[in-house]
Amino acid sequence: MVKSDLLFVIATKNQGNTIERNVSLCLKQTFKGKINVLLVDDKSTDGSDKIAIKLAKKNKNVEFVNTQGRGRVKGLNKAIKKANSKYLCLSAGDIFYKKDFVKTILSYFNNKSIAFVSPFSDTGGNATVWQTKIIQDLNGFDEDFNEKGTGFRDDTDLAFRAFDKGYKSVFTYKTAKFEHEHKLNIPTLKNKLKYGWSRLKIHRFDPLLYKKHPTRGIDFFDIKLGFIRNPKKDFAVATGLWKGNFDLSSPQGVVLVKGDTFVKKILIVLMGLAYVIAIKSVRLYGSIKYKKLLI
């Protein structure tokens, strides 16, 4: 791979309607250093791979890798190994960066102990920028967290491993700006139900994270009695209370039911309680699978 100051690693699957804009904004940053883009497609069926190949042919700063359906985590690891850059931004194909995103986020790397800077959370996630050498030394993501098409808790596990080695992170949501297009793509009831189930089922990886990081896991999950995730926290996540709103929503910013009427608020309470029961059932499944009790 051609050497660069920063490499955008864009993991994409069936995001053909957003990839071109995504790549364009990555390459139009105000940052004066060299930026490259590596598109990692996980066996798209909507023609995204063809669009990515076309973009790579048109621009020498863009490369393409097809992971043939092996899953997002494995695809990212393949890209991390190929990276030849000082910094690496882990992205998705439906994220749109403001023009000063890179310049802003790199300003926080003011000493060598900072492994990553994230506008998503203090344990990483979408749009997180890593020092490439550090993420390579950590051997990238643990592929036990891999799931076809996506992955979950892999970024938190990676962050915890970095912290265990004495590295630090910076969380900068207010200054490093980006938009996530998927917030706007779930208008129908069918899509809302599909999205809700997709967000629910991935919590089967929670017990695996707890098993790998039992001490950090207690605080991260707010665990009571050694195996119960605080139900208030689960309810707050589902109903938006964790961020001061009252909507049936996800931490990714997708609002499924807006609490703008009394009837809707009652519905949100009922759905929030149902979510608590459902997510604990999913974690119980994960507990059996990974042999670490967390519900």
Model confidence pLDDT, tens digit, residues 262-276: 999 999 999 999 999
pLDDT at 160: 98
Mean pLDDT of 146-156: 81
* Residue 207 in tokens: 């017990």
What's the pTM?
A: 0.91
Is the predicted pLDDT of residue 185 greater than 80, yes or no? no
The answer to whether residues 41 and 49 touch, using CB atoms and an 8 Å cutoff, is: yes
pLDDT at 148: 61
| Mean of per-residue pLDDT scores for the chain | 90
Mean pLDDT of 249-273: 89
Please report which residue ranges of 48-91 form alpha helices under DSSP H.
48-58, 72-82
Percent over 90 (pLDDT), the chain: 66
With 0-12 CB in 10 A as exposed, 13-18 as middle and 19+ as buried, what is 10? buried
Convert the pLDDT of each residue in 211-246 to its tens digit.
Answer: 999 999 999 999 999 999 999 999 999 998 877 889
Strand-pairing partners, residue 97, are: 178
pLDDT at 146: 84
pLDDT at 79: 92
The values of phi and psi at residue 67, to 5°, are -90, 0
